[in-house]
Amino acid sequence: MEIYLLRHGIAENGRPGLKDADRALTEEGRDKLKRVLSRAHGAGVKPGVILSSPYRRALETAAIAAESLAHHGKIVQTPALTPEASPHQVWEEVRSRRDESAILLASHEPLMSATVALFLGSPALTVDMKKGALARIDCDHFGTEPKGVLKWLLTPATAGK
Distance CA 75, CA 106 (A): 10
Q: What is the pLDDT of residue 160?
A: 81
**CA dist 142 to 53, 99, 148, Å?**
22, 10, 10
Distance CA 116, CA 93 (A): 14
Distance CA 104, CA 98 (A): 13
Q: What is the pLDDT of residue 161?
A: 75
The structural domains of the chain, ordered by start, are 2-158 (3.40.50.1240)
Q: Are 110 and 133 in contact (CB under 8 A)?
A: no
- Kindly give the confidence (pLDDT) of every residue in the chain, 161 residues in length, as a single tens digit, with 9 standing for 90 and above: 999 999 999 999 989 999 999 999 999 999 999 999 999 999 999 999 999 999 999 999 999 999 999 999 999 999 999 999 999 999 999 999 999 999 999 999 999 999 999 999 999 999 999 999 999 999 999 999 999 999 999 999 998 87
Q: What is the pLDDT of residue 29?
A: 97
Q: What is the pLDDT of residue 118?
A: 97
Q: What is the pLDDT of residue 41?
A: 97
